[in-house]
Amino acid sequence: MKSITRTVLGLALMFSLSNCSQQLKNAETAEVKIYGNCGMCQETIEKAGNVDNEAVVKWNKDTKMATIKYDKSKTSEEAILKRIAAAGYDSDAFKASDEAYNGLHECCQYKRPGSETESHDEHMHANDSMPIEHNHADDHMHDGEHPHSH
């Protein structure tokens, strides 16, 4: 019985996916990198990008690549990527606002391209040494004063 249910569900899924593709009359396809981490990211990215009869987005969490199929008479790759950025996910073309990114669940907060942490990590690999950390609070200490007593 389970195998029959799986077969029926599989056929229904294939039919719905092919039906979506058929509805996109002036279809264009693009492959773009969209940053994210997990299955929750995948759901959010695809939900933000998908619009009935307009766009279908499939995102791969392992490769961070999305296949975007859209009706070029109704939308554009740019419009789809802007919707995804509004949901909190950066692409190489559009950066999510800090507010949208910070609103993501903790497990969905990916290493942002061009961020201080990314460039710090790249710097660490290039030097293979620990950076010297400087506490700016120490710059304003008076003799005998504890660094956090201000």
How far apart (Å, rounded) are the C-alpha atoms in residues 75 and 65?
20
How far apart (Å, rounded) are the C-alpha atoms in residues 141 and 150?
8
Predicted TM-score of the model (pTM): 0.64
The pLDDT value recorded for residue 148 is: 41
How far apart (Å, rounded) are the C-alpha atoms in residues 43 and 132?
40
How far apart (Å, rounded) are the C-alpha atoms in residues 56 and 74?
13
Nearest Cα to 91, choosing from 65, 120, 115, 129?
65
109 in the Ramachandran plot: left (φ > 0), alpha (ψ -120 to 50) or beta? beta
| pLDDT tens-digit profile, the chain (150 residues) | 555 545 544 544 444 444 444 468 889 999 999 999 999 999 999 999 999 999 999 999 999 999 999 999 999 999 999 999 999 999 999 999 999 999 999 999 999 988 764 433 333 333 333 333 334 344 444 444 444 443
Helices (H), the chain: 2-23, 39-49, 77-86, 98-102, 116-127
Edge-to-edge strand ranges of the sheet holding 65-71: 27-33, 65-71, 55-60
